[in-house]
Structure formats: structure tokens, C-alpha cells
Amino acid sequence: MKPKTKHPLFLIVIAFCCTVSITCASNNKYKQPKKSDITMQDSLKEAQKLAQSLKRKGISDERVLTAIANVPRHEFIDKSLREHAYIDRPLPIGKDQTISQPFTVAYQSELLQLKPSEKVLEIGTGSGYQAAVLCEMGVDVYSIERFQELHLTAKETLNKLGYHPNLFFGDGYEGLPDHAPFDKILITAAPKEIPQKLKQQLKIGGWMVLPLGGSQGQKMTVVKRVSKDKFTESVHGDFIFVPMKEGTAE
Ligand code: SAH
């Protein structure tokens, strides 16, 4: 009797099926998403909607809108406030401070007119959200916070999300003389007067965006360094920020 051998076509079919199943298993499209992935995907959808609403409110820099759409804002606030994370509102972050309203974050970022790789100093790290938006825009971020606890929490959140700005615990009025000059400086708390040491840490041709004024409200101001000793100022609307205070705190 002739020994029973498998037909070569049969072997080819088996080999084909194995290859297809291996390819599918390694392809994300066919993977069952983990619960945490689903939450992150939902959040980014919410962040996208938030960016669209900011566009309707007048933000036109697409790079700013894309950055807002890519940052999971809920990660920067307490879990109990999760449902408010993607509403255009400031929210408490402890120490009597707030994460800025998304419109304000976008408005200040737009006024900075950032170019990739520019060196940017932020005063008032707070939750770290604005720093994350700046990182998304591809700039070299330096940020100072006067509350040690907020500084440490922001660092943890940012690093967990894969953002690695240069974070400092200290008094923003001093700036960072060792890292100056900066292309742009962004102040996210309100000083009553333009901080002189920060002006001197601007590159010539660079500028600073700050809410200028007392507790009754501030004017969003852009201070441009046009030459070594010459600065110009322009005003861009009314806002309310927490005050910029001197010194550091626990
Ligand atoms: N950019 C922040 C907004 C935080 S509110 C965010 O995205 O969440 C302003 C922050 O400025 C507060 O955390 C406050 O503690 C900080 N701040 C106020 N005065 C400061 C100073 N002199 N130096 C550094 N940070 C200061």
C-alpha cells in the first residue's frame, strides 16, 4: 500500500493561516483595548471637543489647538473633579491655587507665537497643565513654582505622562539667571508690576506674556524687548488670575 502523505497544498494552507493569525495578534487594530486605554481614548475625545470649543471662542493658532487636544487635562486635577476637567473653567488644585481656564491657557500660548525649539520660561507651574501644552508645542520648557508641594505633584504628573520639562522650586520673581536668556517668558500668576529681573532675562527680539494688575483684575500684557534697553508694551484684554507672590512656601 502506498504510504499516506499530506498534500503539499494542505501544508501551504496551514502555514498561511498561522502567518495571518500571528500578524493579527500583533496588530493593535485587533487588540482588545485595556480599560485604561479606553479611559485615555475617551479623555482625548473630550480634549478634542474642548479644543474645538476654544476655536469657536476665537483661538486660531492650530498648533495651540492641537496641543490642547492632545493633553489629558483630567490628569492634572483631583479625581473628584474629573467630570469638570474638559469644561472651559479654572479648577482648584490645592494651596488656594487654580489650574487656569483652558481658554486662558490657549490665549496666552497663542500670544507667545511659539516656534519649535524656542526656550520658554513659565512662572507658576501650578498643576503642570500649561507646561504640558508647551511641551506638546515642541518648545524647550523651563517652569518655576513657589509652592514645593505643587512643584512635586506637577513633576510626578508630567513625568508619568511622558513630559519632561525643566521644573524648578523657587521664586519666579528671580527667574533663572543660570539658564537665561529666554526667547519667551509666560507668567501665569498676576504681578502688580512688570518683574524687572524677568525683563532682563529676555533675549533681544523676545517677549513676555503676563496678566498685569491687582486683585480687581488684570490686563493681559505683552512686553517686547526690542533692543538691550528698549521695551515696548501692548495690552490684550481683561483677565483674572491668582496673585504672583514673593518668596517660596511648603
Ligand atoms: N500654569 C498653571 C497655573 C497655576 S496658577 C497651570 O497650568 O496649572 C498660578 C501659579 O503661580 C500658582 O501655582 C502659584 O503658586 C504660582 N506662583 C505665584 N507666585 C509665584 C512666584 N513668585 N513664583 C513661582 N510661582 C508662583
User: How do residues 88-147 score in pLDDT, each as one tens digit?
Assistant: 999 999 999 999 999 999 999 999 999 999 999 999 999 999 999 999 999 999 999 999
**Pick from 160, 150, 145: nearest CA to 71:** 160
Q: What is the pLDDT of residues 125-136, one digit of tens each?
A: 999 999 999 999
**Pick from 171, 54, 166, 58: nearest CA to 121:** 166
Check pocket membership of 50 for ligand 1, CB cut-off 6 A: no
Residue 30: its pLDDT value, please? 34
Q: Is the pLDDT of residue 40 over 50?
A: yes
Q: Work out the average pLDDT over 182-189.
A: 98
Share of the chain above pLDDT 70, in %: 85
- Non-local CB neighbours of 120 within 8 Å, separated by 6+ positions: 112, 114, 134, 139, 140, 141, 142, 182, 183, 184, 185, 186
Q: Work out the average pLDDT over 219-232.
A: 98
Catalytic residue among 43, 100, 109, 143: 100
pTM for this model (two decimals): 0.86
Ligand 1 centre to CA of 126 (Å) is 5
Q: How far apart are CA 183 and CA 121, in angstroms?
A: 8
Cell of 228: 538691550
Check pocket membership of 132 for ligand 1, CB cut-off 6 A: no
Res. 78 pLDDT band, cuts 50 70 90: very high
